[in-house]
Amino acid sequence: MSKIKDKNERIKRKYLNWLQEAEGFSEKSITAVETALWKYEEFSRDSDYSTFNHKIAEQFKKHLVNNKNRISNKTLSLRSQYHVLRHVRNFLTWLSGQVGYKSRISTYDVQYLQLSKKDRRVATSASLPKYPTLEQIKQLCSFSVQTEIDQRDRALIAFTALTGMRDQAIVTLPLGCFDQEKMLVQQLPSKGVQTKFSKDIYTTLFHVDETLVSYFLKWYDYLKTEKHFGLDDPMFPSTAVGFVGENHHAFTSMGVSKEFWADTNPMRKIFQARSKQANVPYYTPHKFRHFIINEAQKHITSIEQLKALSQNLGHENISTTFHGYGAIDTYRVNELVSSIDFTGLPQNRAEEAQLERIADLVAKKLGRTEL
């Protein structure tokens, strides 16, 4: 058994390395793939991958239905089952082309690793994520600013809301990547910014609220003029820590350092602490991405703006923006449906025609035949 397990591990490592080096998968994505493969190994009791067939696929699907999370003790959701099967299916498809497995694994059998069409629709349907409102974000930034740590935290929250940038990119963003004249953030991996798939992304700040803009610009100016930060120094630096008292038995905050945070955990802790302080619900930094997309789409009036919104967030396709992030909450749907005028033709035919073109474009991008 140990020989088979070692064999499985070697080929699995080869695949994961291929995903990273050839396909450019992020560490987070590779971890998700590895977790899915662990579930298959647990189910098969570390059987040789080459023994896979359609009967095993059917048994594995039944196993996932009853599989429980060890921490929550809850069964896997359809969305989780979908992604586990997708990762295992992709791996076995790749494996079917490798030496020693070509004649053993049938791609026909691999296709059995799928949910029913009905369950796939449920698993991949756009969810309605909870995200902060503009009023909540403004309240979150309303704490008293007494120190430069307070100023940094307020600017960090405001910047996250104004850009919709991913937290990993924000914590690795150097000062020189912001063009104040154009209000443009240049997310450039060549400058150390860690973007998804290492893409160059150019993000213009959304002027959703001028007070939030002023919080960020005040911080940016403070770093340049008061702290004398250089272009390569962090936009949102880590906290400097020093000793307290003569005996040096305790630590305290000494303001900001010139160091980048090692990961996104400190950023999340800031959002948690400030949410508790402001008595507003805690939303992860990524939920602010949902906020800005849903806020912006309320005001879109042209096809160019529609594409610009998507591109500003680093999405190559409009479908990604609206399928993954653009679900409208129930209350907003109620408002929009209630506002439809059924009494006659729209007064502004030009505006109606423009909206029709936008709707048609979104439909085509989403691959749907009707709205």
> What's the pLDDT score for residue 185?
97
Phi, psi of 186 (to 5 degrees): -100, 100
Q: Tell me the C-alpha distance between 1 and 248, whole Å.
A: 55
Q: Which residues touch 270 (CB under 8 Å, ≥6 apart)?
A: 153, 156, 157
Q: What is the DSSP letter of 52?
A: -
Q: What is the DSSP letter of 75?
A: B
Q: Tell me the C-alpha distance between 355 and 350, whole Å.
A: 9
> What's the pLDDT score for residue 305?
85
CB 81 within 8 A of CB 40: no
Q: Tell me the C-alpha distance between 13 and 79, whole Å.
A: 26
> What's the pLDDT score for residue 68?
75
> What's the pLDDT score for residue 368?
45
> What's the pLDDT score for residue 73?
77
Closest alpha carbon to 165 in 235, 100, 224: 235
CB 309 within 8 A of CB 206: no
Task: Please give the distance of CA 13 from its chain centroid, rounded to a whole number.
Answer: 26
Using CA atoms of 353, 357, 360, 362 in order, give the dihedral in degrees to the nearest 10: -130
> What's the pLDDT score for residue 108?
95
**Distance set, CA 194 to CA 80, 187, 284 (Å):** 27, 8, 18
> What's the pLDDT score for residue 361?
63
Structure tokens at 228: 């004398």
Amino acid at 272: Q
Q: Name residues of the chain where pLDDT drops below 50.
A: 368-371
A 10 A CB-CB count for 155 gives 24
pTM of the full structure: 0.67
Q: Compute the residue count for the chain.
A: 371
Rg of the chain in Å (alpha carbons): 25
> What's the pLDDT score for residue 338?
67
CB 326 within 8 A of CB 295: no
Helices 78-95, 27-44: inter-axial angle, 10-degree rounding: 90
